[in-house]
Amino acid sequence: MKTIDVQEAAALLHMSPKRVQSLAREGKLPAVRLGRRWLFHRDRIEALLGGKGPLAVTTPPFAISARNRLRGVVESVRVDGLMAEVVLRIGDQSLVALITRSSAERLGFAPGAEAFAVIKSTEVIVGREGVDA
């Protein structure tokens, strides 16, 4: 896989280098940061141009009805057998999700990766410590 820098990615996408860096920082453009440099896989950038050109970068593949979307950073991933425990750091809180191992691998969950949690529930249970039921 050939990697390219911001200037080359900008030329392929017909965007300014600053916009390419911004999209990479926001996680809307597949990239890896090495020190202060952004690197892109050329074939992934070219794949974005497949149907809609640069619009493919900012248009989500589908919409979902859930409104409770929490953006965070993967704090840890613990894989055991067919399951994986993913801990997301959202602000000063941690959220734990149990998902399949194959999903964790497919999504590339690793410490430091940006991710989001979508919460859709018909019940919320609240409680307090030290209060007898």
Range of the domain at 46: 3-58
Does this model's pTM top 0.95? My answer is no
Structure tokens that stand for 26 in this block: 């926001």
Section 4-18 average pLDDT: 88
Query: Structural domain tally of the chain?
Result: 2
Statement to judge: residues 114 and 79 lie in one domain: yes
Decide which of 30, 58, 86 is a domain's last residue. Answer: 58
- Cβ atoms of 100 and 84 closer than 8 Å: yes
Statement to judge: residues 34 and 73 lie in one domain: no
Does pLDDT of 66 surpass 90?
A: no
Q: Is residue 132 part of a domain?
A: no
